[in-house]
Structure 1
């Protein structure tokens, strides 16, 4: 009886280990857009709005030059923001989080072309986000190097999932050197589909 139990346990353990290895390889393909240039960290951010609840949420993912997740966080802004405001606040929150964890050289990626162009000085920001953009530019002075680039949301979905998760929390949650379980489950689901 004990031998059967041990054999079944060993078989299940082997199957799970193999599945996790396969998941890790597949997940790396899903969450890895191009890694940042050498000696820079990539900060992927996104913001979302729940109009009915008058809340906005932001998600932030910090990756190293090899594309590994170093830190993630989501934050409920608990304010009735429009979409462009939420996406601009996501950049601001991403910079603050990155500063808090001691990273000084970064590439920030956002799917808000308006925000990215305003931060890069190629267009004037709309009045709704003018103060936020100015605050981000002031905050950027506290880093050694900050680059801002535009990326399509489909290319990096986890930041969006974190932003949506933020709508259901009270304040903020951060994970250092680990992946949130809900994000891992969503990625597993995405891999199996």
Structure 2
């Protein structure tokens, strides 16, 4: 397994409890010069499928890339989240120097959540580069302006 994916899986397995460290509930931009990858997974147990959503933005909140992907396999919640991390990392693989992982509540991760849910209706994976999918346009604006 890729070392970045192992680190992501380890971070998900060892999330701090809420008393030790507060979880973010709003989208926060990364430090200047860095990118932020938000991911989410969705399970559709009756269909024995999962899907993932990935949103990559710069420090000013500008969208760099997004991904919707259906996974035709019965995965656990932890496995689908690890697959979402893996997909996000591979989207930026060439430019990654330092990777930090943190958990954020769904309220701070709405665009990735919407994309993960949207992927269940796809036949093929969809990647948008510097283009905003209409299904997440409103949630991106709300994130950046803290609405």
* TM-score band w.r.t. shorter chain: 0.7 to 0.9
Of residues 142, 146, 153, the one that matches 2:99 is: 146
Residue 183 of structure 1 and its aligned partner are, at CA, apart by 2.2
- Structure 2 portions without partners, runs of 5+: 1-25, 142-147
Equivalent residue runs for 1:76-91 within 5 Å: 76-91=70-85
Give the drift of 1:187: 6.9
Larger relative contact order, structure 1 or 2 (CA cutoff 8 Å, min sep 6)? 2
Q: Distance in 1 between matches of 2:100 and 2:139?
A: 29
Q: Secondary structure at the match of 1:170?
A: coil
Alignment partner of 2:102: what SS? strand
Distance 2:84 2:38 in 1: 9
Give, in angstroms, the shift of residue 103 of structure 1.
Answer: 2.9
Q: State the secondary structure of the residue aligned to 1:184.
A: helix
Structure 1 segments of 4 or more deviating over 4 A? 185-188
- Aligned partner of residue 147 in structure 1, secondary structure: coil
Query: Which residue of the other structure, out of 128, 132, 140, is the alignment partner of 1:179?
Result: 132
Structure 1 residues 151 and 186, CA gap change in structure 2 (3 angstroms):
closer
Corresponding residue SS for 2:37? strand
Aligned with 2:30: secondary structure? Answer: coil
Structure 1 Cα separation of the partners of residues 120 and 138 of structure 2 = 18
How well do the aligned residues superpose, as a CA RMSD in angstroms? 1.8
Q: In proportion to residue count, which structure has more helix? A: 1
Q: Determine whether 1:38 maps to 2:32.
A: yes
* Corresponding residue SS for 1:63: strand
Query: 3-state DSSP class of the match of 2:46?
Result: coil
Note if 1:158 corresponds to 2:115: no
Contact 1:77 1:171 in 2 (8 A): no
In the alignment of these two chains, the number of paired residues is 116
What's the TM-score, normalizing by structure 1? 0.56
